[in-house]
Structure 1
Amino acid sequence: MAGPLDGMKVIEVGLLIQGPQAAALLADMGAEVIKVELPGIGDQGRYIFLGDGDLRSAVFIGCNRGKRGLTLDLRHDQGANIFKKLTETADIVISNFKPGTLDEWGLGYEDLAAINPRIIWAAGSTFGPVGPDASREGADLAGQSAGGLISTTGREGDPPTPVGAFIADHIGSLNMVAGILAALNARHESGLGQRIEVSLVGGQIWAQATEYTHYLLTGKIPGRSNLGHPLIPAAYRIFQTADGWIGLIGLSAEAKDVFFALVGRPEMAMDPRFDALLLSPEELKSLLAELEPIFLEKTTNEWCELLKEAGARFAPVRNYAEVVADEGVWENDYFVEVKDASGESQRVVGTPIRMSETPLQPSATAPDLGQHSDEILSEVGYSAAQIEEFRAAGTV
């Protein structure tokens, strides 16, 4: 069954996560994606190895599924001219190189729009397209740091704590995809493409809209999250159990009555501290002094059963092995199996979007460096002899 972007052609000149993951999601949506890499070197994400002699890269495999691979040296005229020929029939170009790099190579938006006015040119940066840091390189950690997220995570008194995933990069890639889809819709009416610019810092600020709005309204800087959230009632929190941890997302009036009756503390259901939107440090400390010992009395599984019975919103804190072992995540296609070049099955992260008529689905594993160069170049009119000349010159 065709995907929603069936027939769309994407050329990705990306590295690491932000650009490549955006292109991978478009591939899941059915677009044809060509990944362009430097001959003999490729995306630096290929070289973040698993370790212990295993030369596979989770960064590259995780962000480059469903693509065809082309090597092309864009730093020289011959490579740039081949790239321009590819864009004649392309719909979208994606890059997250250092800002200005494609422009220096004559492959900026104005250059390509002069060849193909329908082209949608999407660029990802760390700090944004304008401003004093616009030309600086960065990566996920810079996005988390400059966007303020790290200042709120972790415990009071501890050093600033990065999130344990490349969250700035992935939010940046989602914003890029959103911009591309909006531009495709606009092109349907105007017939013209446009430039799209997203950044890691901008994505981090957007992802903290509630917290930043609180600051803009009050002038109060949020504290550290500790085991919960600085702007939400104390029951929105991670609690330690007898054998693990559980995340409790507050208790409704009805759930409070049932829950505290089940644990033999019905009087706590009347405690007004559960309903307070903000608690003083003293109030929070006294409330947690009563709650935390209760959760230590039972195992995580026992609490899950009690909280289900109470109608509470909660989830056990799981590690990656526990998540992957969950039947539900496989039934929802949050993990799927695809075939690699040898026909072997490989488990990959699926697409978190379900569509009834045009389903999204990873179609293949990440390509080897330059795996499809010959077929891609022949499709745009280059002969086998020309391709060999390009290869001999180091262009391909």
Structure 2
Amino acid sequence: MPGPLEGLRVVELAIAIQGPGAGLYFANMGAEVIKVEPPFGDASRYHRGVNYQTLPEDALCSQFLAMNKSKRSVALDLHSELGQSVMAKLLGSADVFVTNVREEALERMALGLADLAERYPKLVVGQVNGFGPLGDEAGKAMLDGAAQARGGIVSMSGQPGEAPTPPGAAIADHAGAMQIALGCVTALVSRSITGKGQIVQTSSLGGQLWLQMWELQHSAITGVPLSREGSHHPNIKGPYGVYLCKDGIAVLLVVAMTDEAWSDFWIFFDKPEVVLMEEWDSPGKRVGMAGTDDGVPEVRQHLREAFASKTFAEFEEFVAGQPEIIWERVRGHGDVLTDPQNLANEYVVDLELPATGATPTVGTLMRYSETPTERPRVPPVLGADTAELMAELGFTVEDVKSVQDHCEAVKAEMYAALLGDP
């Protein structure tokens, strides 16, 4: 059966995570996504990261693999006349154009946003950048951590009194990708009503605010900015937090939903006196919805001592019979990739790669009853679809050869410059 967005054509001109993440959403939903790359390719093809020395030289780099599954690839020099001509015809055949290239660079490639809107009135143009389309710093360069820092989320992570700690994932880029994908789909719905495309813009900075709407609203309405609380959420007073068991395994405890479960919890830990603390004698108080800040340090200290007195196996055996206690073991990436719940929902699926064989990858995270999605496909080889798509768009065999030869020459020149060859 076709995926929910089958029949749509999306042209992606983007690098790294934020723009390609939006293209990946469309690809996962069944749209045809054509990734337009420079002659040297998306730089993430070469981002090997840590621990990669154990893999073959021709192994796909993890960032490119993660963000470019199920796409097609066209290699074009968009600073050349023929490259711009191919791009113009591609956009004329497309429903969506998504990019994280800054406006000034787009204009140098004859892809200025206002010009695109005039030339392709039905095209949805989605642009995502670092700090938003307006303001003095609209064109400022950005990497994920810069948007995290400016958006405030870094200030909320880490131990009080110590340097803030950035989250261990590129959440600014991913948030921007989610927002621009959602914006483009919304614009497609609008086009189905009005017949008109439009320009959709957002940013990593905006995505950071979206991820923190509750926390920012709380700081705004109280007039007192929240501050980082280490292993606890800055706006949830009470037990909620991460605690270490006797054997060093970390557990995130959310709440005991019933008084009976709360009582059983402390009896298990040989601390029945905590049950008598009035500050925590109702579910609302325990989840931080009611009560005051009184007793917060005390109950957290009791919890640290309690968990330190039991192994994780002992705690797990106890909570197996306590469905009203909400908790989870803190899991690392190895655990996540093999988690039976993730496998059952196909949040993690195997992908057969040419150089390294089967490897787990994040799958399509939504299920559709009438238009089910397919499993992800291997990312494309650079320029693998150039000839086929150019022929489809009416270019001659000579045109195709000219584009491919030019790209190979530019690629060789760039590679030599990168390696410092004369």
TM-score range, shorter chain: over 0.9
Greater displacement, 386-395 / 125-134: 386-395
Task: State the secondary structure of the residue aligned to 2:180.
Answer: helix
1:295 alignment counterpart: 307
For residues 117 and 36 of structure 1, do their structure 2 counterparts lie closer, same or farther at Cα, with a shift above 3 Å needed? same
Taking structure 2 as the reference length, the TM-score comes to 0.88
Q: Distance in 2 between matches of 1:294 and 1:256?
A: 13
For residues 362 and 195 of structure 1, do their structure 2 counterparts lie closer, same or farther at Cα, with a shift above 3 Å needed? farther
Greater displacement, 113-122 / 10-19: 113-122
Q: What letter is aligned with 1:352?
A: L
Taking structure 1 as the reference length, the TM-score comes to 0.94
Task: State the secondary structure of the residue aligned to 1:382.
Answer: coil
2:53 alignment counterpart: 52
- In the alignment, does 2:248 pair up with 1:247? no
Contiguous gaps of at least 5 residues in structure 2: 411-422
Q: What letter is aligned with 2:276?
A: M
For residues 225 and 361 of structure 1, do their structure 2 counterparts lie closer, same or farther at Cα, with a shift above 3 Å needed? farther
Q: What letter is aligned with 1:199?
A: S
Q: Distance in 2 between matches of 1:3 and 1:335?
A: 19
Task: State the secondary structure of the residue aligned to 1:356.
Answer: coil
Kindly state the Cα deviation for residue 301 of structure 1 after the two structures are TM-superposed.
3.2
8 Å Cα contact 2:274-2:299 kept in structure 1: no
Structure-to-structure mapping, 1:1-396, within 5 angstroms: 1-39=1-39, 41-50=40-49, 51-52=52-53, 54=55, 55=57, 56-243=60-247, 244-254=249-259, 255-274=261-280, 275=285, 277=288, 280=293, 283-310=295-322, 311-340=324-353, 345-394=358-407
Q: Distance in 1 between matches of 2:119 and 2:373?
A: 31
Q: Distance in 1 between matches of 2:143 and 2:219?
A: 26
8 Å Cα contact 2:117-2:199 kept in structure 1: no
Q: Distance in 2 between matches of 1:84 and 1:49?
A: 33
For residues 176 and 301 of structure 1, do their structure 2 counterparts lie closer, same or farther at Cα, with a shift above 3 Å needed? farther
8 Å Cα contact 2:149-2:155 kept in structure 1: yes
| Identity in percent | 32
8 Å Cα contact 1:99-1:137 kept in structure 2: no
Greater displacement, 68-77 / 103-112: 103-112
8 Å Cα contact 2:279-2:295 kept in structure 1: yes
Kindly state the Cα deviation for residue 279 of structure 1 after the two structures are TM-superposed.
5.9
For residues 345 and 379 of structure 1, do their structure 2 counterparts lie closer, same or farther at Cα, with a shift above 3 Å needed? farther
Greater displacement, 30-39 / 304-313: 304-313
Q: Distance in 2 between matches of 1:135 and 1:68?
A: 29
Deviations 1:105-151 (A, max 9, x none): 22133323333221010011111101121011101101100100000
Q: Distance in 2 between matches of 1:300 and 1:99?
A: 53
* RMSD of aligned Cα (Å): 2.1
8 Å Cα contact 1:128-1:201 kept in structure 2: yes
Q: Distance in 2 between matches of 1:394 and 1:46?
A: 16
Task: State the secondary structure of the residue aligned to 1:290.
Answer: helix
Task: State the secondary structure of the residue aligned to 2:103.
Answer: coil
For residues 38 and 30 of structure 1, do their structure 2 counterparts lie closer, same or farther at Cα, with a shift above 3 Å needed? same
Deviations 1:148-168 (A, max 9, x none): 000010101221110000111
Q: Distance in 2 between matches of 1:203 and 1:360?
A: 26
Contiguous gaps of at least 5 residues in structure 1: none
